[in-house]
Amino acid sequence: MEKELRDQAAKLLEEGTVDYIVGFASGTLKHTTTPLITGDKDETSSLVINPFISNNLATYALEISGRLGIVAKGCDSRSIVSLIQDKQITRQDIVILGIPCSGLIDLKKVEKLAGKERDEIDEVVVVADKVVITVGSEKQEVPAAAVLFDHCIGCELQIPQEYDFLIQGPAVEIRNSEASREKIKELKQMSPDQRWSYWKQQFNRCIRCYACRQVCPACFCERCFVEESQPRWVSPVSQWQDNLIFQAIRAIHVAGRCTDCGECERVCPVDIPLRSLSKEMYDLVGEMFNYKSGMNAGAPPLMTAYELTEVESLIR
Amino acid sequence: MITKKVSKKDIRKLLGTWNQECNVIVPSRVDGVVGMAAWDNQDISFLDWYRNTVIPPKSCFLPKSEVMMSFKKNENGYNLEVPTNEHWQVIFGVRPCDARANAIIDHVFAVTYDDYYYISKRRNTLLVGLSCTNPYDSCFCTSSNIDPTESEYVDLMFTDIGDDFVIEDFTGGGKALLNMSNTLKKVTKADIDKIKEVKAASVSKIKKTVDTENADRKLGSLFNDTDYWERISAKCISCGICTFLCPTCFCFDINDEMIRKQGARYRGWDSCSFRSYTRMPMENPREEKWRRVRQRVCHKFEFFPMNLGINACVGCGRCIRSCPVNWDITQVIAGLPAEAGIKSGK
């Protein structure tokens, strides 16, 4: 897969079809990758495809001017489509290098299983539907679903639907939409009081770094409500009340655009389970409007369209 | 100097003694996130798992948000109340990188300016350092001339030599802490040999290195190279993780909150990575992302050395470990001129 991708990327730059390639390269730390943004065809030889390519590169399409060749997993391709629907980018400016994806490794789950931290783990290798974790001389084999991100377990698009080039390769379907909603189920079983104190506790430790917003391709507002000062909607002081309001509004704002790529939760430095909010919104959108974001570039954005058949239980 | 040692099984007793006189703060996992938090007078399991905190110890003196004063409207105007900090605290388990970082921030809040809120917490604090014997792959303190087992910025330094911690004391406050306890033992010749061994081994565990020599000069000559900074900053997503988790970043923002004629003035972390930074007093002079990235790098490696003769990066590696896009400052420093090299022991 990597060779095909590198050749294709180099060709696109060489022919002048794109100005930049946005893909993944190996990171500087163990089991990490890093976004590679390059206009140099020689650098395309560092492009990689592995189970650690977590970033949703669609977010770069918003800020890099010029024609881009973007490496996209299924979820990322949906974010690109969603941005096209919202007229944030034009289809002609983007060359989608689709790659099949069997799911990405959630290092936090691996750390938990291995009882070691990321850098103390020697190897994490995917073998079909199993993952082998090596620490020193000890090898541990676990079902892939046990160490994939929650959003990957519930993935609805292992192979991008929208693409210009599709890199050929295996895409193991490890779908378990129930397991993917485990955390949400847990929260729903709580009483409203319990749930309220749960979220209070979670947002108490939010440091308002806005990494969740910054990585999110669906968060493309030029001016975020949270930074408005005249009038001021949310206090910039990091206190649980305002932290929670920020996130609650963000979750509602991205409804119909969120493709459940899970980046908000992965990047949170204080481990707030943000996907519980976004995934619940994602499922509600599906339930109420029979809509899946980023699946059809020609469709109008969810919140701008209205069908007579839509549920109106709130407005009578 | 090395005078005493304490058996690992007596650590609870030692911390307990201190906890009677002041608040003991230890590395704690709160909801899965490691930071410094009040000790529960019982749990010392952190000795087994603690490597370093996610939230740096600067938060003990410059918390993510704090009340500067509270106010309430009365007939004549406002009643103001300014919080006081009279209690003593001992922070146990500070790593040498973070101890240096505290000393660097002291320059800002206690040397060049007398910041009441910072000083009122800092002056009542004793730092107990803990040698770093299991660093991360992202740690590069030795490149900032820090020995992971030594610090001149703590009151006491503990080094793990197996069954015991050897204790070095550096200040009167440190000596006073030792005098409070009756669980300490004398060090032997064998202990001295052992500590030398542990120290050498710990230094060799820092695999990531970067040549910071002349970084200030190189950055100075690169300052106006827009192409360079645009390329370097391309993948940065402008979040605040690197600055908030940096033990030497100290920018803050002040906000008043008032509901029904009473409220408070808060101070909280701010970040030069944000596009909205300093928009309140005027505009952000660093509208473009590359200017903001340049600011962070130059502040650490050019402006601080220029003003105080010291790099403001201590090599704790937090900004690399927690970065959503693996933006690695050591690569940037190493990549300044072509001949500089980075060696990663990965």
**Same domain, residue pair A78 and A29:** yes
In the prediction, which pLDDT does A174 show?
74
B36 with B156, same domain: the answer is yes
Chosen from A24, A118, A214 to mutate, greatest number of chain B CBs within 10 A:
A214
**B346–chain A Cβ distance below 8 A for any pair:** yes
CA gap A245, B248 in Å, rounded? 30
Q: Which domain holds residue A111?
A: 105-147
Last residue within a domain, chosen from B180, B208, B236: B208
Structure tokens at B186: 């004398």
> Residue holding tokens 């009643």?
B79
Tell which of B145, B178, B208 closes a domain: B208
Count of domains forming chain A: 2
C-alpha distance from A279 to closest chain B C-alpha (Å): 20
Q: Give dist(CA B209, CA B201) in Å, integer.
A: 16
How many distinct structural domains can be found in chain B? 2
Q: Are residues B198 and B219 in the same domain?
A: no
Q: Considering the domain boundaries, does residue A314 fall inside one?
A: no
A55 and A133 housed in the same domain = no
Q: Contact B238/A214, CB-based, under 8 Å?
A: yes
Judgement on whether residues B184 and B262 belong to the same structural domain of the protein:
no
Last residue of a domain, one of A116, A147, A178: A147
- Smallest CA–CA separation between A312 and chain B, in Å? 36
Query: Residue B345: what pLDDT?
Result: 37
Residue B132 near residue B149 (C-beta atoms within 8 A):
yes
Size of interface A-B (CB pairs under 8 A): 115
Q: Nearest-CA distance from B281 to chain A in Å?
A: 12
Q: What is the pLDDT of residues B284-338, one digit of tens each?
A: 788 899 999 999 999 999 999 999 899 999 999 999 999 999 999 999 999 886 4
- Chain-chain contact of A29 with B235 (C-beta, under 8 angstroms): no
**Judgement on whether residues B172 and B244 belong to the same structural domain of the protein:** no
Domain co-membership, A9 together with A71:
yes
Is B137 within 8 Å of chain A by CB? yes
Specify the 3-state DSSP secondary structure of A80. helix
Q: Are residues A88 and A131 in the same domain?
A: no
CATH value at residue A124 = 3.10.450
Asked if residue B346 is part of any domain, the answer here is: no
pLDDT of A314: 62
Instruction: Provide the mean pLDDT of chain B.
Output: 92
Residues of chain B with Cβ-Cβ distance to A227 below 8 Å are 276, 279
Check whether the bond before B281 is cis (ω within 30° of 0).
no
Domain end among B208, B240, B255: B208
Pick the last residue of a domain from A147, A179, A210. A147
Q: Which domain holds residue B230?
A: 210-336
Q: Are residues A203 and A292 in the same domain?
A: yes
CA distances from A168 to A20, A57, A126, A171 (A): 22, 20, 18, 9
pLDDT of residue A313: 67
Residue A7, CA atoms < 13 Å, CB-side half-sphere: 8
Residues B214 and B204 in one domain: no
Q: Which of A147, A180, A215 corresponds to the end of one domain?
A: A147
Is residue A315 in some structural domain? no
Is the domain of B159 the same as that of B305? no
Answer yes or no: is B343 within a domain: no
On whether both B44 and B161 belong to a single domain, the answer is yes
Chain A residues in contact with B54 by the CB 8 A cut-off are 269-270
Q: Do A210 and B266 touch (CB under 8 A)?
A: no
Lowest model confidence (mean pLDDT) among A121-125, A244-248, B126-130, B336-340: B336-340
* pLDDT tier at A311, thresholds 50, 70, 90: low
pLDDT digits (tens, 9 = 90+) for B87-120: 899 999 999 999 999 999 999 999 989 999 999 9
Are A8 and A89 in a shared domain?
yes
B339: tokens are 């001949």
